[in-house]
Amino acid sequence: MNHTALFALLMSLACGGASCGGAPKKNTKPAAPAPLSQNTYSHYLRGKLAFFQGDFAEAERELAMAKRSDPTQAPISRALAEARYHAGNRKGAEAEMAWARAQWPKDAQVWMQSGDLHRSARNFADAAIAYKRAIALGDRDEATYLAYGSTLVATGRLEDAKAVFRKLIARKTSSSEAHYQLALLLRAEKRFKAASTHATEAITEAPYDLRAWALLSNALFRQGRHSEANDALRQPFDRSQGSPSTGEQLFVRLLELDARDQALEIVKVLDRDDLPIDTRIGMGHWLLRAGDFEGALAIAARLEKRVPKSAAIVELRVRALRALHRNREALEELSTIGPEVTGYPLIRAMLAHLLADMGDTTAAQATITSTLEKHPDQPDLIMAAAAVAEAAGDVDKAREILKTAIAHHPFAQRPLFALAEVESRSGHTKEAIATITPLLRMNRQSFAALNYIGYSLISDPTRQERAEDLLLRALELAPDSAFVLDSYGWFLFQADQPLAAAPLLERAVRLTPTEPELLTHLAELRWAQGRKAEAKQLLQKASKLALAKHARAAVDTVRNRLTQSMPSAQP
């Protein structure tokens, strides 16, 4: 195979994803590129290989050399822009695509990739323009229509978005995503019958799409068709043979649809005695996440009759009791598990945490010390030992414990993030970032590391561009993470963009309504919007949910800054 033929094959492979609009259509295919020189091809190939291997800096270097060797190739320019974006050079990527649009104004794939780049940067208005241009130039691929419709939704042009999704359905009736997105918009308009019709079509084409099942169930529920709504939840769950992850995804999708009451009902719908105990315990944790602590207690009580002396069931019960501030009952429950029970070290770690949060750090330290003698390498105990030391005011000891754990397990994430949090709470932001940076070097796709470092940089006015780049990459990798959504929403709020921040902060709280920090951020937004009564309610809820001393202090700080009239948080 000669270099020109191999280049054409590589171009075909490179354009297999959404950014290139799938298989090129006859009327969208750009003019065939001129044959490449040996030098150009070598740099291009090395750049693409480096990109696929995750070495984006090297990819950018090689592709820039390929472009200098031959600036007449649109695929090289597009690849260079993509490498620059992933290397964290967002402005350079945008400049490259602007140059490409000027050079090849009638190349649909250039406009399509411009749209992808703008959308990744959450510049939805320019993304919509680019996608519309790509379609006008003949790019009629499903991915282009879907991307165009999603950007219209993001810019509030809902009628236009529905028209795009309907046009795609007319062209390709089997587009499950178009049916799903249209159903989502119709549900928001309370057109539940029409929404259920399109959700059903989405499921017909993609029977394992749990988003569509949850949407169908909710649309039926809102029509008063409760039996059918429950059936729409049971079908995918039973089809997965009671998979805990399937049930949890259905639960979370209902939360995201702001259907909390129906999400809580899902446990009654799906729970049955023949399911594995671990699956049923998982259901209790779903309820904890949604704030139904009494419901979680009820599940634990039912399961304790079948499996007494289970550490996992005791853990569920204790977490619910603690959330309800029934700490004495939680202490009694933890004392029922002896050293002969599997999971004993976790129970002892929970006991130490509880004692420390109740102010008895001496008893907490004694609990950890005695248990570590028999379980010296147990991660839960090590994390608890550091937390107890910090609660007792010995931050240096907490650092020492965590650094020792990191030395033994250099890339274990729990001690790294725990140490970063200790440094952050001590006001040492640079040290916190330095603690997490090795994780990012090891894995540039670690959304947790990207999110942590990006969030940590928000307060530094000189690092705003870097913070946004990291948080955008995290959001691209984990678009459904409540914590990533919250971080980028908080960045936008701090950048004086409350309208853009609102949907992100609101969605984060819908997904995880029991996390104090997320509630506090949304409260600040509501206060800035003039919705002060709602802000106060959110802060009061955050205070009740903040169990650790430092978490309560963080909520108090925000509350006191916003208003002096609110009651103090209860310890």
Give the integer Cα–Cα distance in Å for 308 and 336: 10
pLDDT of 8 reads 45
* DSSP H/E element including 439: helix 429-442
pLDDT of residue 29: 54
pLDDT at 17: 39
The whole-number pLDDT of residue 411 equals: 80
pTM: 0.87
Token pair recorded at residue 201:
């079509």
Q: Which DSSP string do the residues of 397-416 spell out, in sequence order?
A: HHHHHHHHHHHHSTT-HHHH
Residue 107 inside a domain? The answer is yes
- Report the distance separating Cα 421 and Cα 428, nearest Å: 9
Which has the closest alpha carbon to 131: 157, 159, 150, 103?
150
**H-state helical runs in 271-377:** 277-290, 293-306, 311-323, 327-334, 344-357, 361-372
Q: What is residue 8's three-state secondary structure?
A: helix
Rg of the Cα atoms in the chain: 27
For residue 14, what are the CA distances in angstroms to 76, 134, 506?
Answer: 11, 18, 37
- Predicted confidence at residue 99, as pLDDT, reads 96
pLDDT of residue 34: 64
> Rounded to whole angstroms, how far apart are CA atoms 182 and 146?
11
Phi-psi label, residue 567: left if phi above 0, alpha if psi -120 to 50, beta otherwise: beta
Count the Cβ atoms, other than its own, within 10 Å of residue 167: 16
Count of CB atoms situated within 10 Å of the CB of 140: 18
Q: Is residue 66 part of a domain?
A: yes
CATH number for the domain spanning 118: value is: 1.25.40.10
Q: Can you tell me the distance from the alpha carbon of 209 to that of 180, in angstroms, rounded to the nearest whole number?
A: 10
Specify the number of domains making up the chain: 1
pLDDT in tens, the chain (571 residues): 444 444 444 444 344 333 444 444 444 455 555 677 888 989 999 999 999 988 899 999 999 999 999 999 999 999 999 999 888 888 899 999 999 999 999 999 999 999 999 999 899 999 999 999 999 999 989 999 999 999 999 999 999 999 999 999 999 999 999 999 999 999 999 999 999 999 999 999 999 999 999 999 999 999 999 999 999 999 999 999 999 999 999 999 999 999 999 999 999 999 998 899 999 999 999 999 999 999 999 999 999 999 988 999 999 999 999 999 999 999 999 999 999 999 999 999 999 999 999 999 999 999 999 999 999 989 999 999 999 999 999 999 999 999 999 999 888 899 999 999 999 999 999 999 999 999 998 888 899 999 999 999 999 999 999 999 999 999 999 999 999 999 999 999 999 999 999 999 999 999 999 999 999 999 999 999 999 999 999 999 999 999 988 899 999 999 999 987 445 444 4
Count the neighbouring beta carbons within 10 Å of the beta carbon of residue 462. Answer: 7
Tokens encoding 513: 């309504």
CA distance 51 to 79: 9
* Contact (CB, 8 A) for 217 and 237: no
CB 282 within 8 A of CB 247: yes
Task: Name every residue whose Cβ is closer than 8 Å to that of residue 79 and which is 6 or more positions away in sequence.
Answer: 14, 44, 47, 48, 51, 59, 63
Q: Is residue 339 part of a domain?
A: no
Neighbours of 331 (CB within 10 A): 15
Amino acid occupying residue 40? T
Please indicate, yes or no, if residue 129 is contained in any of the structural domains: yes
Domain that residue 121 falls in: 1-26+34-138
CA–CA distance, 157 with 164 (Å, rounded to integer): 11
Contact 379, 412 (CB under 8 A): yes
Q: Is residue 86 one of the residues assigned to a domain?
A: yes
Interaxial angle between packed helices 482-494 and 464-477, expressed in degrees from 0 to 180 and rounded to the nearest 10: 150
> Is 82 domain-assigned?
yes
Task: Give the separation between CA 399 and CA 339, rounded to whole angstroms.
Answer: 28
Q: Which residues contact 555 (CB under 8 A, 6 or more apart)?
A: 516, 520, 539, 542, 543, 546, 569
Residue 168 located in a structural domain? no
C-alpha 103/C-alpha 97 separation (Å) is: 10
* DSSP H or E run through 64: helix 56-69
CA distances to 300, 403, 413, 433 from 430, in Å = 43, 16, 18, 5
**562 within domain boundaries:** no
CA dist., res. 470 & res. 487, Å (int): 10
Query: What's CA 346's distance to the chain center, in Å?
Result: 27
Distance CA 76, CA 105 (A): 16
400 token code pair: 């020492």
